[in-house]
Amino acid sequence: MPHSTRPARVGEGTGVRRTLIGFVLVISALLVVAPLCVIAVEAFSKGVGVFAATIAHPDTRSAILMTLATALIAVPVNTAFGLAAAWSITKFDFPGRSLLLILIEIPFSVSPIVAGVAYLFVYGMQGLFGPLLQDAGIKILFALPGIVLASMFVTAPFVARELIPLMQAQGRDLEEAATSLGASGWQTFRTVTLPNIKWALLYGVILCNARVMGEFGAVSIVSGNIRGQTNTLPLHIELLYHDYQTAGAFAAALILTVIAVFTIIAKVLLERRGAGRVRPIVATLGTAEAKDQP
């Protein structure tokens, strides 16, 4: 047999491969696994009774409810926004299309703290709309609406960023074919577009929900940190820690940790399902091409 002249790939050697894998495992253990273990241990360091008392405390319950209420409002709105933005960008050609793409990416490049301060200057008492809102009896900042707005800002791109690349790759052929056959816009979306983007959509929703529940920077500015009223779970954890209630802080943090773990599991499962999310289009086009061949 002729000797192969293929050059060695980077990391093909056993020693290099084991070194790289070992390095990654050590860093992952130090940066990810160790902190998660510490949270779980410290949450029960003073016994199950202290853990249960912390979770059952009215301030903790209020923080959990505020976090859930924020997610229940912000995630559906951002899902609708992401769908509309992705549909507009990928299915239509219009002036300002590139600008819309840039606007969607802005929350990723702006610090959440800066976003929170910006909301103060827009909706605060000394802000642009503050006096008008006060005269109308509408309270935005230091209340649920301000927390929702700040959370929506930092999570706005998640759904759109998952959908836009996929919908660009899928093209417009199937939607145009459905329209030419007499399908309405809603029928086209429900029977053609949605089945082909459902896994990417769910993936974006999960990421958006996780970020909403864990958001700290922007929310800390617009909420006022009012204990038992406008605190979300991340803000409540900070207050407990500053009050030297370490076990309570870790007990509350364990709730977010559990949410994060389930988010990762769901993310992995959706990535596995998402590997075939463009198959319906590929299969359809492949079948059509096969029929055209003699």
148 in a domain, yes or no? Answer: yes
**pLDDT in 10s for each residue of the chain, 294 residues:** 455 566 656 656 677 888 888 999 999 999 988 988 999 899 898 888 888 988 999 999 999 999 999 999 999 999 999 999 998 888 888 888 888 888 898 998 888 999 999 999 999 888 888 888 888 888 898 989 999 999 999 999 999 998 999 888 888 888 878 888 877 778 888 888 888 888 889 889 988 998 999 899 899 999 988 888 889 999 999 999 888 888 889 999 998 888 888 888 887 887 776 644 444 333 333 443 444 444
Tally of CA atoms within 13 A in the half-sphere of 64 that contains its CB: 15
Residues 228 and 96 in one domain: yes
Residues 51 and 37 in one domain: no
Which residues contact residue 263 at a Cβ distance below 8 angstroms, ignoring those fewer than 6 apart?
A: 206, 207, 209, 210
5 in a domain, yes or no? Answer: no
pTM: 0.81
6 in a domain, yes or no? Answer: no
22 in a domain, yes or no? Answer: yes
Q: How far apart are CA 111 and CA 238, in angstroms?
A: 19
Q: What is the DSSP track for 223-288?
A: HTT-TTTT--HHHHHHHHHHTT-HHHHHHHHHHHHHHHHHHHHHHHHHHHHHTTTTHHHHHHHHHH
Measuring CA to CA, which residue among 46, 35, 218, 113 is closest to residue 234? 218
Residue 137 DSSP one-character state: T
Residues 156 and 249 in one domain: yes
- The residue segments making up the domain with residue 18 are 13-43
3 in a domain, yes or no? Answer: no
Which CATH number covers residue 79? Answer: 1.10.3720.10
- Domains identified in the chain, total number: 2
Residues 59 and 25 in one domain: no
171 in a domain, yes or no? Answer: yes
Measuring CA to CA, which residue among 183, 135, 169, 198 is closest to residue 285? 169
167 in a domain, yes or no? Answer: yes
Residues 73 and 126 in one domain: yes
1 in a domain, yes or no? Answer: no
For residue 35, is it left (φ>0), alpha (ψ between -120 and 50) or beta? alpha
Tokens of 98: 């590139």
